[in-house]
Chain A
């Protein structure tokens, strides 16, 4: 079961999200994360969907997505060089000595503290999903109160000239 990042260009019209999500639930495919917002193309939005599956499942997902009338283009970034980022907020327990330690950890991962109270901090982090998992792992021992993640966005890298 391999992780796949699918980039799906869709018509920006009512119900399109439901068509895509309904396809996954109706056919028993799994959505790990999903992100959608309008893009520059006239009247289009881009969805970035991360999913897990073997090559046959992902092939079916790609074909089924393409079959949806409102879907313009589908790409799997599995075999193409692409950049991928996700943003998250982590609200972590931060009292006494822990505050300094948290700030050092945050520093190493180039995160930002965006909110502080006497007992908690909200940390903003950006990175690929592995980095975010690592940050969560390290902050766990301080006590994580809440996590909010955007889900991945991804883009194919430009072709480099020789």
Chain B
């Protein structure tokens, strides 16, 4: 029996396990929407802006570990996805983005709502496809999901001309992926793992530096077991938070520009750095020539391009983080069972402990509500069990610092691209993946306004997402840089004519709460968290508060400003 391209698309989505499709209809995808109305197995979530659709699919993917999917129309619908796609690309998130396209006969004619989205997204997708033959659609969709999920994951875009969606063909589900040019390496080389363990045996001052790769490969328990077994302290980039419990004594805190004193000092005093699934981003390393000056470096990554891109590496390991950590554990058990790791590292752990207790993350209380205090209150009230999405800016760093993440996939944040407007739609996606979990957005008053229209999506789908706005009436992070590095010339960073977020939430049919006095903080937050409705909580925090520590651009990690 013959089926239309639209039917085949939806059938492949189902077979790939898509149960939620974020989308926005338009001329080029009307046939797909027509067909979609007859497929209740796929829940369509109508967003209010295509960027929101991609971020929502992204949040769904980050929280669940499955691939996210979204569907938008051609032209502006497609271009509106670009920021979302680039966000997912930078953080290696598996997504399949389906865009409508003008009919093949019109491609290249500057037709209405035509744009070369395959050309536009080439540098920010893992791969993309323009479907020119309906008989290839099923194979392309299969490949799109395979590419998105496998190896180093990433977003894949499929551009679907309207005539292809209307055309009919026999549906054949391709059993084989059949791509001769793509073959990611999962299994690490055993010799490299042996060398890694030998480095660990020799080292006196080792540190594990972890990143998003540990989350992606579901290696959190392997990491935790190995670090505890070997008594090696652990730090992480922003993307890796949650893969090692922040409550563990071996935890150093986040590394990098806004990392803890202990983490940054440990890196720069280490004699061995074992980097697992992190990519030595400039926000992590500070001045690269002064990064970990005394350390030999082991770098485990599934993507060979990450290795020796930014730093010189003594032991490169190409492979899956989980398999690599497992392999290291096996070698430790087989060859070094008698090693007394705790005794070997006792001196080092004592120095680490001094750094930790000497200069812990802290803030001064002086009357008003401190933003850090709000994050701590959220941690207490949610028992550390919430899925926390953030926007980008000061509030993001305070969340990373003061919410003690203990489980992977509980912090959803745009680490690589730093996309304001990410958090709220991402939280919507996460809530759809986990209807029964607490999902909280920590936002700033600036960034929440970048995708605030998604309030309608949250309300329409009765999602109990809570948005906690740390409202300091300015673009805090940019203002902080102006203060510190631009002679306090605070230009274009004051937010004038802010909306009344409480009324705004109510106008959309959500709940709005405002907290202006410290004594209201916990009771009102608690009330909002307990509500079954979408809610905005507008917390008026100290305006002048800055994120500390901070490693200025071009400085070494141990040259932090602590205030």
The winner among B118, B127, B130, B181 for most chain A CB atoms within 10 A is B181
Task: Indicate if B182 sits at the interface (CB-CB under 8 A).
Answer: yes
Task: Indicate if A18 sits at the interface (CB-CB under 8 A).
Answer: yes
Are A66 and B304 closer than 8 Å at their CB atoms?
yes
- Of B119, B126, B305, B308, the residue contacting A69 (CB under 8 A) is B126
- Stretch in A28-36, A57-65, A81-89, A138-146 with 4+ CB within 8 Å of B: A57-65
Are A69 and B182 closer than 8 Å at their CB atoms?
yes
Are A59 and B119 closer than 8 Å at their CB atoms?
no
Task: Please report the C-alpha to C-alpha distance between residue A71 and residue B305 in the assembled complex, in whole angstroms.
Answer: 15
Task: Please report the C-alpha to C-alpha distance between residue A11 and residue B118 in the assembled complex, in whole angstroms.
Answer: 17
Chain B 120-136 interface 0/1 with A at a Cβ cutoff of 8 Å (1 = within): 00110011001000000
- Of A26, A56, A60, A72, the residue contacting B123 (CB under 8 A) is A26
The winner among B130, B147, B182, B308 for most chain A CB atoms within 10 A is B182
Q: Which residue of A lies closest to B182 (CB)?
A: A69
Main secondary structure of the interface of A (DSSP, over half): helix
Are B308 and A19 closer than 8 Å at their CB atoms?
no
Q: Which residue of A lies closest to B143 (CB)?
A: A69
Are B130 and A69 closer than 8 Å at their CB atoms?
no
Q: How far is the CB of A156 from chain B (nearest CB, A)?
A: 20
In the assembled complex, which residues on chain B have CB atoms less than 8 Å from the CB atom of A60? 305, 308-309
Are A14 and B122 closer than 8 Å at their CB atoms?
no
Are A67 and B305 closer than 8 Å at their CB atoms?
yes
Q: A60-B309, A63-B305 are in contact. Are A69 and B122 (CB under 8 A)?
A: no
Are B122 and A22 closer than 8 Å at their CB atoms?
yes
Q: Which residue of B lies closest to A59 (CB)?
A: B308
Task: Indicate if A126 sits at the interface (CB-CB under 8 A).
Answer: no
Chain A residues within 8 Å of chain B by Cβ, number: 19
Task: Indicate if B15 sits at the interface (CB-CB under 8 A).
Answer: no
Are A14 and B123 closer than 8 Å at their CB atoms?
no
Interface residues of A in 8-46 (CB under 8 A from B): 10-11, 14-15, 18-19, 22, 26
In the assembled complex, which residues on chain B have CB atoms less than 8 Å from the CB atom of A72? 180-181
Task: Indicate if B179 sits at the interface (CB-CB under 8 A).
Answer: yes
Task: Indicate if B303 sits at the interface (CB-CB under 8 A).
Answer: yes
Q: How far is the CB of A42 from chain B (nearest CB, A)?
A: 10
Task: Please report the C-alpha to C-alpha distance between residue A67 and residue B184 in the assembled complex, in whole angstroms.
Answer: 9
The winner among A10, A66, A67 for most chain B CB atoms within 10 A is A67
- Of B123, B181, B308, the residue contacting A71 (CB under 8 A) is B181
Q: How far is the CB of B128 from chain A (nearest CB, A)?
A: 8
Q: How far is the CB of A146 from chain B (nearest CB, A)?
A: 31
Q: Which residue of A lies closest to B128 (CB)?
A: A15
Are A64 and B181 closer than 8 Å at their CB atoms?
no
Q: How far is the CB of A58 from chain B (nearest CB, A)?
A: 12
With contacts defined as CB atoms under 8 Å apart, how many contacts are there between chain A and chain B in the complex? 36
Q: Which residue of A lies closest to B304 (CB)?
A: A63
Chain B 150-193 interface 0/1 with A at a Cβ cutoff of 8 Å (1 = within): 00000000000000000000000000000111100000000000
Task: Please report the C-alpha to C-alpha distance between residue A72 and residue B118 in the assembled complex, in whole angstroms.
Answer: 21
Q: How far is the CB of B309 from chain A (nearest CB, A)?
A: 6
Interface residues on B, range: 10 to 19
In the assembled complex, which residues on chain B have CB atoms less than 8 Å from the CB atom of A59? 308
Chain B 297-316 interface 0/1 with A at a Cβ cutoff of 8 Å (1 = within): 00000011100110000000
Are B181 and A70 closer than 8 Å at their CB atoms?
yes
In the assembled complex, which residues on chain A have CB atoms less than 8 Å from the CB atom of B308? 56, 59-60
Are A18 and B305 closer than 8 Å at their CB atoms?
no
In the assembled complex, which residues on chain B have CB atoms less than 8 Å from the CB atom of A70? 127, 181
In the assembled complex, which residues on chain B have CB atoms less than 8 Å from the CB atom of A66? 304
Task: Please report the C-alpha to C-alpha distance between residue A11 and residue B143 in the assembled complex, in whole angstroms.
Answer: 15
In the assembled complex, which residues on chain A have CB atoms less than 8 Å from the CB atom of B122? 15, 18-19, 22
Q: Which residue of A lies closest to B309 (CB)?
A: A60
Q: How far is the CB of B213 from chain A (nearest CB, A)?
A: 15
Q: Which residue of A lies closest to B306 (CB)?
A: A63
In the assembled complex, which residues on chain B have CB atoms less than 8 Å from the CB atom of A18? 119, 122
- Of B130, B182, B305, the residue contacting A64 (CB under 8 A) is B305
Task: Please report the C-alpha to C-alpha distance between residue A18 and residue B127 in the assembled complex, in whole angstroms.
Answer: 12
Are B118 and A67 closer than 8 Å at their CB atoms?
no
Q: How far is the CB of A71 from chain B (nearest CB, A)?
A: 6
Are A14 and B130 closer than 8 Å at their CB atoms?
yes
Chain B 474-514 interface 0/1 with A at a Cβ cutoff of 8 Å (1 = within): 00000000000000000000000000000000000000000
Task: Please report the C-alpha to C-alpha distance between residue A8 and residue B25 in the assembled complex, in whole angstroms.
Answer: 41
Are B123 and A11 closer than 8 Å at their CB atoms?
no
In the assembled complex, which residues on chain B have CB atoms less than 8 Å from the CB atom of A14? 130
Q: How far is the CB of A29 from chain B (nearest CB, A)?
A: 13
In the assembled complex, which residues on chain A have CB atoms less than 8 Å from the CB atom of B181? 10-11, 69-72
Task: Please report the C-alpha to C-alpha distance between residue A71 and residue B122 in the assembled complex, in whole angstroms.
Answer: 14
Task: Please report the C-alpha to C-alpha distance between residue A22 and residue B119 in the assembled complex, in whole angstroms.
Answer: 10
Q: How far is the CB of A26 from chain B (nearest CB, A)?
A: 5
Q: Which residue of B lies closest to A23 (CB)?
A: B123
- Of A19, A63, A69, the residue contacting B179 (CB under 8 A) is A69
Q: Could you list 20 examples of A-B contacts with CB < 8 Å?
A: A14-B130, A15-B119, A15-B130, A18-B119, A22-B122, A22-B123, A56-B308, A59-B308, A60-B308, A63-B304, A64-B305, A66-B304, A67-B304, A69-B127, A69-B147, A69-B181, A69-B182, A70-B127, A70-B181, A71-B181
Closest 5 CB pairs of A and B: A69-B127, A72-B181, A63-B305, A63-B304, A26-B123
**Which residues of A are at the interface with B, using a C-beta cutoff of 8 A?**
10-11, 14-15, 18-19, 22, 26, 56, 59-60, 63-64, 66-67, 69-72
Given contacts A11-B181, A56-B308, A64-B305, 14 further A-B contacts (CB under 8 A): A10-B181, A15-B118, A15-B119, A15-B122, A18-B119, A26-B123, A60-B309, A66-B304, A67-B305, A69-B147, A69-B181, A71-B181, A72-B180, A72-B181
**Which residues of B are at the interface with A, using a C-beta cutoff of 8 A?**
118-119, 122-123, 126-127, 130, 147, 179-182, 303-305, 308-309
